[in-house]
Chains A and B, each alone.
Chain A
Amino acid sequence: MRTYFGILVLLLVFSLTACTEKESPAPENGLKIIFSHLAEDEPLITNQMIYENAAGNPYEVTEIMYFISDLTLYHNDGRIIKPSEWEGIHYTDTNIPSTLEWIAGKNIPSGLYDSLTFTFGLCEEQNQSFMFVNPPEVNMAWPEVLGGGYHYLMLNGWWTDLQGVRRPFNFHLGIGQIYENNSGQVSDITGFVHNHFTVNPTGGPFSIANEGITELTLTMHIKSWFETPFIYDHNQWGGAIMQIQEAMYIGSMNGRDAFSIKQ
């Protein structure tokens, strides 16, 4: 009995004196991507009708929201690195400063990298309805009846039409629809088109340090959405294009050269 008692008291004393302590983490490196948005090669100024696209539409931008995913780095020794093991999708929102930085990965092989690529939007496999349930991502939901999943891009603003009237535009990209007889009626949808695309931003090689966080700036050139290879005219497509696959196709083609990186 005394032995048991002694053991119990010792265990209790030991337990009650146990202190919380943090173990120092091993040194690691990481890649942080900083998002910037340029209009006519200058930082974007929102809510001012000061820009003009290649079609000659005077326009202003209210906000930009978009997803990028499947980030891939190309090491100059030939290795292909996918750093985003933790979170492979990033949401960027010009209204939410915290989304303008993304810790894209940790413990990435250091050295020189030739380039990187990413998917603009979400690939078909990933783009599942109700994948996000919290704001702000949930507000990117794409109607189930129009293909489901999420918007790849919401570029919202105003343009001045040919009559000089200031009109809103929602330059939205997501899953497109094929309509029987081009009716545009939901009941006539016969198929869907996944408009996500791969971006290989210009900007050349970059390096990732052995320790610490390496920062890369990923810049969206807004005017590119409206030119090269196709001229996009708001007067032609109107303010809402969620149900106009041709307009979204132009957007998905034009977006491929809308990004650059800089270290």
Chain B
Amino acid sequence: MEVNSISIFSGIRLRTLMRSLIAFSASFFMLTQELAAQHQDTILQLPVFELTDTSVHRRMPVSIIKAGSLEQQREADLGEILRKQTNVSGIRRGGYAIDPVVRGFRYSQISIFLDEGIHVEGGCPNRMDPVLSHIEPEQVNSLEIVKGPYLLQYGPAPSASIHVRTRPDQSAFNRGFHATSQSGYDAGRGGFKQHVSLLHSAEKAFLSFGGGIKEYDNYTDGNGKEWNSSFSKKDISADAGFKTGRSGFLILSYRGSFGRDILFPALPMDETKGNTNIFSGYFERYHPANPEKRLTLSAYHSRVYHVMDNSFRPQYTRVVPPYNGIMQATAIAEASSSGGRFSFSYPSGNLSMLHGIDTRITAKDGTRNMRMIMTMDGQEYTSEKSINLWRDALIINTGLFTSTTWKKRKTEASLGVRVDLNHAESGDTLVVEKEGKTWYKSAPVNQVMFSISGNLTYRISRKTTIGLGLARSQRAGDMQERYIKFLATGYDRYDYLGNPQLKPETNHQADLMLTFRPGKAELLLNVFISKINNYITGVLVPPNVARPLSQGAPGVKQFNNIDAAVFTGFETTLSWIPFKNSNVGISAAYTYAYFMEAERIILENNQLAGTEIIKNDPVPEIPALDASMTFSYKFRKPLLSPQLIIRAVAAQNHVSLSYYEEKSPGYVITDLVISYYPHKSVSLAAGISNLLNTAYYDHLNRRLLGSNEKLYEPGRSFYINIKFKL
């Protein structure tokens, strides 16, 4: 029997902590001296550990990030910003588009949507463009991360939800003329960003426009190594709002995002072009005397055009041993998502009721072209092949949902129910059969899914609240899991083959939440356990049945349901005000996940030498124990707030044997941020990320293609963000 142990915070030393504190104190002293003469009277907003007490907070495990926090970040990518949240991490494949992982759940296990349920289907089978990469941080009003299958009103919510709010709210009708400019420079990678937005509102209408550019060069890690991670992005947005009578309004919105030459050193190709267009409309009508009586109607269409190739790689133009030919690959994918949602809510006695229906139609099509140029016997020969990645793949999901919230004295409860009908089909002509067994054959599939969630909160005392969440949620296989054909989409470099016959994955989850507020502090503790039946993951296919088509892929895995995976862990945060204007925040999170039974392929000389069953094998790509400490102080005159953030991540030794996953060392990084408000129209955030220039990588970072070397995180970087608003 082999027992995996967890070594906590390997690498954290007292000396490191002392160095961080000394650096912090020195910076703090210098800046207070310099800026002491200036003063303004604006309310400061701390980026993290805000004291919040909303009914949603008590009932659900949720993190909220507001636009004010996003503006202060060095990172130009929402996925990277999200990694700072408790028990949220991300998969890094390059310098942009980090793919979020919440409590170890990823990809379609997380429902990511905009506003009233706008979904975006990424075009890239390698996940170069996860959902959040289609939205720029400057377009976001707030982000809500619900850790669990509790948010059932916006589509199936498998294991977590990320709700991105981009649409102006009703207050946009009363704001007159507004102009905002946000600029940022990241010295560590020569990154420049600029975003401008304009809003003009009259009494019954408003119009807003926004647009921005981002040009980022390669970053350098703490060892001084430069990683091919540059990217270029442009975005544009427009909203038009109209009041319809005394108690209704309509908002029409457009969001566009255009990426060029986004490099991914961990993937076999880079994104050379990515165009995203999102059109949406939202109508709301409410009772003038009772705004809780509300009716909403929304519709959207999002379209993604994605081109990737290996033209930035040496093998595109010359022979790179051990290959004896020039290898060129291009893939083009088009994806669209269209849908609508209707809901109405009303109070009924002690109950708040919400009912509705939503639908989502996802379509995807894509082709990969491979070209090999070889010289044999003095002659040059070119061989080409095109294969479908998807062919007219279509998934239609329609759901009915209802939820109710009940509140009485010390108790608050909510119940949500959702029923989905999921239809999937594809125009694939590929059939994979071997000796009577059909491995891949596309046929229309209809599935009915049932989800239910309940939350109960009880205020034990004035200071203490306890909450319990129980949920059962289902999700159907996504486009990748059902219809992808031979592309390395996972972390293990195997080519993946879809499985049209996948059963829905079912998550049974329980959360126990405790809130304790003794005076000037707040302690939140959340423990959770989740058992997932029919967990969708890759299972190795014999080479006799299918061979990989991606360079470097050792074989083919097909998505299959396996029973079962268990995820458990905790999140805790402590926010404490030790003295006036100061704040200390401490947070920690851990997820422990394993398959109850997994088959491991034993390979010798890259050949099958046997199989073995591993019980309680860790699920791959689970983030390690993570903790952070934040110290901040608000100066009133001048109006500035320095903040020191120390983040420590433990080594990840709890790794999957069946996936041949490698262990990762722990690390400690320190960031320094100073927010300064010289004028009510000007705000400035400057800082040094990775102050000690630590060379490190996260457990979820992918490996550099063709090697076992993990992608390192950026080294020390000075940055500055300035915002002007009129």
**Interface status of B618 (Cβ within 8 A of chain A):** yes
Bound CA span A87–B572, Å: 50
Other-chain residue from B383, B385, B547, B615 in contact with A132 (beta carbon distance below 8 A)? B547
Residue in B closest to A19 when the chains form the complex, CB atoms: B3
Bound CA span A123–B559, Å: 29
Residue in A closest to B322 when the chains form the complex, CB atoms: A135
Say how far B511's CB is from chain A's closest CB, in angstroms.
9
**Interface status of A212 (Cβ within 8 A of chain B):** no
> Are B618 and A1 within 8 A (Cβ)?
no
**Interface members, chain A 1-59 (any B CB < 8 Å):** 1, 4-5, 7-8, 11-12, 15-16, 18-25, 28
Bound CA span A245–B342, Å: 70
Q: Told that A20-B615, A130-B372 touch, could you supply 10 new A-B pairs with CB distance under 8 A?
A: A4-B512, A11-B529, A15-B566, A15-B568, A23-B613, A86-B544, A87-B542, A103-B608, A132-B547, A138-B372
Residue in B closest to A105 when the chains form the complex, CB atoms: B608
Other-chain residue from B470, B594, B605, B611 in contact with A101 (beta carbon distance below 8 A)? B605
Say how far B458's CB is from chain A's closest CB, in angstroms.
7
**Interface status of B53 (Cβ within 8 A of chain A):** no
Bound CA span A7–B510, Å: 10
Interface string of B369-398 (1 = CB under 8 A from A): 010101011100111110000000000000
* Given A22-B612, A144-B382: A133 and B568 interface contact (C-beta under 8 Å): no
* Given A87-B544, A144-B382: A12 and B377 interface contact (C-beta under 8 Å): no
- B-side contacts of A16, CB under 8 Å: 568, 592
**Interface status of B348 (Cβ within 8 A of chain A):** no
> Are A129 and B385 within 8 A (Cβ)?
yes
**Interface status of B265 (Cβ within 8 A of chain A):** no
Other-chain residue from B322, B610, B615 in contact with A139 (beta carbon distance below 8 A)? B322
B356-364, B423-431, B549-557, B709-717 - the one binding chain A: B549-557
- B-side contacts of A11, CB under 8 Å: 510, 529, 568
Bound CA span A103–B608, Å: 7
- B-side contacts of A23, CB under 8 Å: 612-615
Other-chain residue from B512, B548, B613 in contact with A5 (beta carbon distance below 8 A)? B512
> Are B468 and A19 within 8 A (Cβ)?
no
Interface string of A120-148 (1 = CB under 8 A from B): 00000000011111111011010111101
Say how far B454's CB is from chain A's closest CB, in angstroms.
11
> Are A130 and B549 within 8 A (Cβ)?
yes
Closest 10 CB pairs of A and B: A143-B381, A144-B383, A240-B377, A135-B322, A23-B613, A98-B605, A18-B616, A15-B568, A86-B608, A21-B1
- A-side contacts of B618, CB under 8 Å: 20
**Interface status of A89 (Cβ within 8 A of chain B):** yes
* Given A1-B468, A15-B566, A20-B615: A133 and B322 interface contact (C-beta under 8 Å): no
**Interface status of B523 (Cβ within 8 A of chain A):** no
- B-side contacts of A129, CB under 8 Å: 383, 385
**Interface status of A253 (Cβ within 8 A of chain B):** no
**Interface status of B579 (Cβ within 8 A of chain A):** no
**Interface status of A170 (Cβ within 8 A of chain B):** yes
Label chain B's interface by main secondary structure.
strand
> Are A134 and B374 within 8 A (Cβ)?
no
**A-B contact count, CB below 8 Å?**
151
- B-side contacts of A86, CB under 8 Å: 542-544, 608
**Interface members, chain A 144-191 (any B CB < 8 Å):** 144-146, 148, 170
- A-side contacts of B612, CB under 8 Å: 22-25
Residue in A closest to B372 when the chains form the complex, CB atoms: A141
**Interface status of A106 (Cβ within 8 A of chain B):** yes
The 29 listed contacts between A and B (C-beta, < 8 Å) are A5-B468, A5-B512, A8-B510, A11-B510, A11-B568, A12-B527, A15-B529, A15-B568, A16-B568, A19-B2, A20-B1, A20-B657, A21-B615, A102-B607, A106-B608, A130-B370, A130-B549, A133-B548, A134-B548, A139-B324, A143-B376, A144-B381, A144-B384, A145-B381, A145-B382, A148-B383, A170-B377, A240-B377, A243-B377
> Are B605 and A15 within 8 A (Cβ)?
no
Bound CA span A74–B330, Å: 46
Bound CA span A224–B177, Å: 90
Residue in A closest to B4 when the chains form the complex, CB atoms: A20
> Are B614 and A21 within 8 A (Cβ)?
yes
Bound CA span A170–B379, Å: 14
Bound CA span A28–B608, Å: 13
> Are A12 and B529 within 8 A (Cβ)?
yes
**Interface status of A84 (Cβ within 8 A of chain B):** yes
Bound CA span A20–B382, Å: 50
Bound CA span A99–B436, Å: 30
Say how far A212's CB is from chain B's closest CB, in angstroms.
12
- A-side contacts of B615, CB under 8 Å: 20-23
**Interface status of B606 (Cβ within 8 A of chain A):** yes
- B-side contacts of A138, CB under 8 Å: 323, 325, 372
- A-side contacts of B34, CB under 8 Å: none
**Interface status of A242 (Cβ within 8 A of chain B):** yes
Identify the interface centre among A87, A136, A146: most chain B CB within 10 Å of its CB. A87
> Are B381 and A146 within 8 A (Cβ)?
yes
Interface string of B587-628 (1 = CB under 8 A from A): 000001010000010001111111111111110000000000
- B-side contacts of A77, CB under 8 Å: none
Bound CA span A146–B382, Å: 10
Interface string of A241-259 (1 = CB under 8 A from B): 0110000000000000000
Residue in A closest to B456 when the chains form the complex, CB atoms: A1
Say how far A81's CB is from chain B's closest CB, in angstroms.
13
Say how far A198's CB is from chain B's closest CB, in angstroms.
19
- A-side contacts of B470, CB under 8 Å: 4
* Given A86-B543, A102-B607, A143-B381: A20 and B617 interface contact (C-beta under 8 Å): yes
Say how far B114's CB is from chain A's closest CB, in angstroms.
34
Identify the interface centre among B378, B554, B608, B657: most chain A CB within 10 Å of its CB. B608
Bound CA span A87–B611, Å: 14
Residue in B closest to A135 when the chains form the complex, CB atoms: B322
> Are B4 and A133 within 8 A (Cβ)?
no
> Are A22 and B543 within 8 A (Cβ)?
no
Bound CA span A35–B604, Å: 16
> Are A1 and B466 within 8 A (Cβ)?
yes
**Interface members, chain A 83-108 (any B CB < 8 Å):** 84-89, 98-99, 101-103, 106
Bound CA span A122–B502, Å: 33
Bound CA span A139–B320, Å: 12
Identify the interface centre among B370, B374, B547, B610: most chain A CB within 10 Å of its CB. B547
- A-side contacts of B456, CB under 8 Å: 1
Residue in A closest to B655 when the chains form the complex, CB atoms: A20
- A-side contacts of B322, CB under 8 Å: 135-136, 139
Say how far A201's CB is from chain B's closest CB, in angstroms.
21
Bound CA span A132–B555, Å: 10
**Interface members, chain A 185-216 (any B CB < 8 Å):** none
Say how far A207's CB is from chain B's closest CB, in angstroms.
21
Bound CA span A243–B376, Å: 11
* Given A5-B468, A85-B544, A88-B544: A133 and B549 interface contact (C-beta under 8 Å): yes
Bound CA span A56–B230, Å: 62
- A-side contacts of B468, CB under 8 Å: 1, 4-5, 8
- B-side contacts of A133, CB under 8 Å: 370, 547-551, 553
Say how far B685's CB is from chain A's closest CB, in angstroms.
39
- B-side contacts of A145, CB under 8 Å: 381-383
Say how far B721's CB is from chain A's closest CB, in angstroms.
41
> Are A22 and B377 within 8 A (Cβ)?
no
Bound CA span A134–B569, Å: 40
Residue in A closest to B468 when the chains form the complex, CB atoms: A4
Bound CA span A99–B607, Å: 10
Residue in B closest to A132 when the chains form the complex, CB atoms: B547
Bound CA span A1–B324, Å: 68
> Are B616 and A135 within 8 A (Cβ)?
no
Bound CA span A240–B1, Å: 58
> Are A25 and B611 within 8 A (Cβ)?
yes
> Are A22 and B613 within 8 A (Cβ)?
yes
Residue in A closest to B657 when the chains form the complex, CB atoms: A20
> Are B544 and A8 within 8 A (Cβ)?
no
Bound CA span A132–B547, Å: 7
**Interface members, chain B 529-551 (any A CB < 8 Å):** 529, 542-544, 547-551
